[in-house]
Amino acid sequence: MAIESYENLLMGLKKLRLPAMAEMLDSYAKQAVSNNMSYVDFLSGLISEELKSKERKGVESRIRSARFPVLKSLSDFDYGFQPSVNRKKLEELSSLRFIDNKENVLLLGPPGVGKTLMGIGLGVKACEAGYKVLFTTLNEMLSVMTSSLADNSFTSKCRTFVCPSLLIIDEVGYLPVSKEGANFLFQVVAKRYETGSIILTSNKSFADWGEVLGDSVVASALWNRLLHHSTVFNIKGESYRLREKKAELVREERKVG
Ligand code: ADP
Ligand code: MG
């Protein structure tokens, strides 16, 4: 290929925003000559590189926008350690049908049993499958909504939590919620009811939600909407964090002894 037409082609690909094709052009052109490739095979090979690259970048960008505190995968989950987590139920959720059906997932249990790991694992899968996801702790979400009142951005901030196909609300119950906070949470849950999925994690059972939210009527209305179409995991068991710590202490004691 003449240098001039090669450079024009390269520039055209860049202008058309096909960077992977531009990057692979040289090596593909050489391969095409040495393998006596047809024009169609040459072009379809280059296009499939561009599609793969766009797909990869899409997943990366969705994962970035989801704002996970750390990346975890469901394949890291040790079912042997946490037998109260039904493997079939979690694997069924990994099919992500619950997102298409606008259903919720409630992950309840004491600290360290893997609630956040399960939430992030499902969230990452959803990003890989093309869904828009947002991860937030309840506290973070309420503080964004509270400060939005000062600059009149409440409606747009509310949309941030209402629009994603999957909203993960982590750590409900660790910190008490003000009356206004309970009201904000109710608005988000009510707006998403039957229109978008929520994964919610809590260390508190329903009986204690009235106390957390400072209002048993709001708590009951919230619970009603969350529970209506949902899969619930009531995780009982030891903290994975403490297990690691305990094993460390035992090793140290053995060394000393
Ligand atoms: P929770 O949100 O219930 O407090 P986390 O999901 O934050 O618990 O889990 C605490 C730590 O232990 C994390 O590093 C997590 O990856 C790990 N962990 C918890 N449960 C399991 C499990 N069953 N298998 C593997 N790692 C686990
Ligand atoms: Mg957690």
Token pair of 118, please?
Answer: 């399960």
Per-residue model confidence as pLDDT tens digits over 47-69: 999 999 999 999 999 999 999 99
Q: Name the DSSP class of 23.
A: H
Distance 118 CA to ligand 1 centre (A): 8
Backbone angles phi, psi at 167, to 5 degrees: -110, 125
> Which residue's CA is the nearest one to ligand 1's atom 6?
114
Nearest CA to ligand 1 atom 5: 114
Cα 249 from Cα 251, distance rounded (Å): 5
- Tell how far the Cα of 89 is from the centroid of ligand 1, in angstroms: 18
Q: How far is the CA of 53 from the centre of ligand 1 (A)?
A: 32
Residue 171 Cα: closest atom of ligand 1? 2
Helix segments in 163-200, DSSP class H: 179-192
For residue 176, how far is the Cα from the chain centroid?
Answer: 25
Ligand 1 residue neighbourhood (C-beta within 6 Å): 72, 76-78, 81-82, 111-117, 201, 240-241
DSSP code at position 75: G
For ligand 1, atom 10, the nearest C-alpha belongs to 112
Question: pLDDT tens digits, the chain, 257 residues: what are they?
Answer: 567 888 999 999 999 999 999 999 999 999 999 999 999 999 999 999 999 999 999 999 999 999 999 999 999 999 999 999 999 999 999 999 999 999 999 999 999 999 999 999 999 999 999 999 999 999 999 999 999 999 999 999 999 999 999 999 999 999 989 999 999 999 999 999 999 999 999 999 888 999 999 999 999 999 999 999 999 999 998 899 888 777 778 777 777 66
59 and 127 Cβ atoms separated by less than 8 Å: yes
User: 107, 234, 240: which to mutate for ligand 1, most atoms within 8 A of CB?
Assistant: 240
pLDDT at position 199 is 98
Q: Which atom of ligand 1 lies nearest, measured to the CA of 77?
A: 24
- Going by alpha carbons, the residue nearest to atom 26 of ligand 1 is 77
pLDDT, one tens digit per residue, over 181-192 is 999 999 999 999
Residue in 117, 118, 171 to alter for ligand 1 test, most ligand atoms within 8 A of Cβ: 117
**Ligand 1 center from residue 117 Cα (angstroms):** 5
Helix, strand, coil percent values for the chain (each to nearest 5): 60, 10, 30
Distance of CA 156 to the CA centre of its chain: 21
pTM of the model: 0.90
Give the helix/strand (H/E) hosting 85.
none
Ligand 1 atom at minimal distance to the Cα of residue 107: 3
- Tell which atom from ligand 1 comes closest to the C-alpha of 109: 3
